[in-house]
Amino acid sequence: MKMAPLAPRLVVPIDVKKHPWEQKVPLHNRWHPDIPPVADVTEGEFFRIEMVDWSGGRVKDDNSADDMKSMNFTIAHYLSGPLRIVDSEGIPASPGDLLAVEICNLGPLPGDEWGYTAILKRENGGGFLTDHFPSARKAIWYFEGIYAYSPQIPGVRFPGLTHPGVVGTAPSVELLNIWNEREKRLAETNQETLKLCEVLHQRPLVHLPTPENSLLGKVQEGTAEWHKIANEAARTIPGRENGGNCDIKNLSRGVRS
Under a CB-based contact definition with an 8 Å cutoff, are residues 234 and 240 in contact? Answer: yes
Q: Which residues pair with 118 in a beta bridge?
A: 138
- Residue 45: which of 96, 100, 95 has the closest Cα? 100
Q: What percentage of residues in the chain have a pLDDT greater than 70?
A: 92
Q: Is the peptide bond before 77 cis (omega within 30 degrees of 0)?
A: yes
Phi-psi region of 120 (alpha: psi -120 to 50; beta: other; left: phi over 0): beta
Most confident of 106-110, 202-206, 213-217, 236-240: 213-217
pLDDT digit string, tens, across residues 229-251 = 999 999 999 899 999 998 877 88
Burial letters 123-137, b for 16+ CB under 10 A, else e: eebbbeebeeeeebe
Pairing of strands 137-144, 147-149: antiparallel
Q: Quick check: helix, strand or coil at residue 219? A: coil
Higher pLDDT, 83 or 134: 83
pLDDT digits (tens, 9 = 90+) for 89-126: 999 999 889 999 999 998 889 889 999 999 888 888 77
The residue extents of the domains of the chain are: 9-245
